[in-house]
Amino acid sequence: MTATAQQQTGTTVMTNVEAVRTTLHDALVRDDRVLIMGEDVGARGNVFLITKGFLEEFGAERIIDTPLAEASIVGVAIGMAMEGLRPIAEIQFADFIYPAFNQIVGEAAKTRYRSNGDYTCPLVIRTPYGGGVRGALSHSVSIEALFYHVPGLTIVAPSTPADIKGLLNAAIECPDPVLFLEHKKTYRSVKGEVPAGYYTIPIGKADVKKAGTDATVVSYGYNLHQALDAANRLESEGISVEVVDLRSIRPMDKTTILESVRKTRKLLIIHEDNKFGGIGAEISAMVAEEALFDLDAPVRRLAGPDVPAMGYAAPLEDEFMTSTDEMVEAMRELAKF
């Protein structure tokens, strides 16, 4: 789809991966400061075919196959951003981001701060994360908790095609570095309506994906879709669960979480990343600080176990991932508490 061919009204149904692709494409058409760089983004068109055809359409100057070295993918993009371009750097799998850790945490996140605004770093780093695709130890990790500790970074993790488009546009507009997380299990398994034309969704704003009254679930990524399935199943039992899609991990939306928790008086946080020190820990602490006496039950968390990673064998992956049945069970228990 080209920008000129795109309808300016109405919606199109597309998958998450198509939403990423369309939004990147439109950004390249819209702004010649935008470049895409990473491993195999050119002739191969990215390992998920997100950038397929981009090389032919936009040229090797804008769709850059980099040497196989993550620290410099991010580092070179930082230099481009400091010099006024709007690079979109891709880390092929989130697991491969560790060699670039210093560039993201020590450099990109501190550029504006250390120069007191003399230099800025308007950079987007996109990366597919998460399990459920038999990716084993090094193609399955969630990395958000490693980075959300870092002031100066912005982290978004949208779960639906419409949110991906709005938040990726917002990330490209953002004058500071953004880590853009795409759950690879949702790439082709999640479809949805996407509004035509250019729009952004404010970074830091959560979205109530399903309204409910008996308990609040806060989640994001692939788990969000499981949580919606679980909540829908519980409707037949007369249990009404509200599902909040966090969408942004740094900053996070205090207002939406507190409003929901004060209404349902119960909170379950679900994420795939490890439980200890994870996103749920910060949400729990915030709710304890702000709304402890509004709660009718202890805060619950369903999250990844305290092991280094999920295994390649199906039982090891399944054991790591929270199942929809487990979510149903936890929601039911919480609602009845």
Whole-angstrom distance, CA of residue 149 vs CA of residue 288? 19
**Burial (CB count within 10 angstroms: exposed 0-12, middle 13-18, buried 19+), residue 118:** exposed
Answer yes or no: are the C-beta atoms of 308 and 137 closer than 8 Å: yes
List 25, 139, 183, 225, catalytic entry: 139
Whole-angstrom distance, CA of residue 267 vs CA of residue 154? 25
Of 46, 127, 219, 248, the residue at the interface with other proteins (CB under 8 A) is 248
Parallel, antiparallel, or unpaired for β 300-304 and 154-156? Answer: unpaired
* Torsions phi, psi for 218 (to 5 deg): -110, 125
Number of residues located near other proteins, criterion CB under 8 A: 56
Of 191, 205, 263, 275, the residue at the interface with other proteins (CB under 8 A) is 205
Identify residues 39-68 at the interface with other proteins (CB under 8 A): 61-62, 64, 66-67
Distances in Å between the alpha carbon of 140 and those of 8, 80, 180, 182, 260? 37, 30, 16, 12, 31
139 is catalytic: yes
Q: Please choose, out of 16-24, 110-118, 129-137, 261-269, the segment that lies near other proteins by the rule CB under 8 A.
A: 110-118
By CB under 8 A, tell whether 120 contacts other proteins: yes
* 299 Cβ contact list (under 8 Å, min separation 6): 267, 268, 269, 284, 287, 288
By CB under 8 A, tell whether 253 contacts other proteins: yes
By CB under 8 A, tell whether 164 contacts other proteins: no
By CB under 8 A, tell whether 169 contacts other proteins: no
Query: Considering the complex, what minimum distance in angstroms separates the CB of residue 107 from other proteins?
Result: 6
> Per the structure block, which two tokens stand in for 231?
């909540």
By CB under 8 A, tell whether 112 contacts other proteins: yes
Of 63, 74, 156, 190, the residue at the interface with other proteins (CB under 8 A) is 74
- By annotation, the residues acting in catalysis are 139
Summarize as ranges the residues that interact with other proteins (CB under 8 A): 35, 61-62, 64, 66-67, 69, 71-72, 74-85, 87, 99, 102-103, 106-107, 110-120, 151-152, 154, 174-176, 204-205, 248, 250-256, 259, 286
